[in-house]
């Protein structure tokens, strides 16, 4: 399959939210990425349900929501009701990961699990049959604009081998420091979805930046 582009709203201008979402709507982006942070799992706070509900009204793209929060099980239904299509939780934040991803799928959303840079992909062996997506964090989560961690390529390659050898239909998403300098290599390593924040919303022409990431030009 062709790779997907999911621009990260965390890097957008929140004083101009409607226009920023409108730009994504009109671009060749496939999804819209939203990072939810609680100030506990990561040292930052992003936005909550009022913003998600407003984005739901504005966006024409599937909402790709990444929870960087403790005890995400408390809010799964609310995220579904706020318009989430794809809901990803952190491996490190879930005591009962199988129960969490099962609940997400029962609510009608695609279920993803994200790994921090220090977490080996081998730990996913027993959860792969139950997820739709695995996100490789290629920066330490919490802030937009960080430098890409080079070891991420190897993690993607190992994960791709695990997925293919198991015969699973699982997408690999990469989030953190994604730009035109590494996009082609990430896709070659096995990534299906590129999350891009600063490299899109910080560009002179964000729609063109999305198109370049999509076409790898």
In whole angstroms, give the CA distance from residue 161 to residue 92: 22
Handedness of CA 158, 164, 170, 172 (dihedral sign): positive
User: The tokens of 91 are what?
Assistant: 């491996």
Query: Which of 30, 35, 38, 132 is an active site residue?
Result: 35
Number of residues in the chain: 217
Active site residue 175: yes
Gap between the Cα atoms of 103 and 26, Å rounded: 33
Catalytic residue among 38, 64, 132, 175: 175
End-to-end CA distance of the chain: 18
The question of whether 35 is a catalytic residue gets the answer yes
Positions marked active-site: 35, 175
């Amino acid at each position: 399959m062709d790779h997907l582009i999911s621009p990260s709203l965390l890097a957008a201008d929140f004083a101009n939210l409607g226009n920023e979402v409108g730009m994504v709507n009109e671009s060749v982006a496939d999804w819209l990425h939203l990072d939810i942070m609680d100030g506990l799992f990561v040292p930052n706070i992003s936005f909550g349900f009022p913003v998600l509900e407003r984005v739901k009204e504005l966006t024409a793209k599937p909402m790709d929501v990444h929870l960087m929060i403790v005890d995400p099980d408390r809010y799964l239904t609310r995220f579904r009701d706020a318009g989430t299509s794809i809901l990803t939780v952190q491996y490190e934040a879930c005591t009962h990961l199988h129960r969490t991803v099962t609940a997400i799928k029962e609510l009608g959303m695609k279920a993803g699990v994200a790994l921090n840079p220090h977490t080996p992909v081998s730990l996913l062996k027993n959860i792969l049959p139950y997820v739709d997506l695995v996100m490789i964090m290629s920066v330490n989560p919490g802030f937009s604009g960080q430098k890409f961690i080079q070891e991420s390529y190897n993690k993607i390659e190992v994960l791709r081998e695990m997925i293919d050898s198991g015969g699973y239909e699982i997408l690999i998403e990469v989030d953190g420091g994604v730009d035109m300098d590494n996009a082609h290599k990430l896709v070659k390593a096995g990534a299906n979805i590129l999350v891009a924040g600063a490299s899109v919303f910080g560009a002179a022409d964000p729609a063109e930046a999305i198109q370049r990431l999509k076409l790898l030009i």
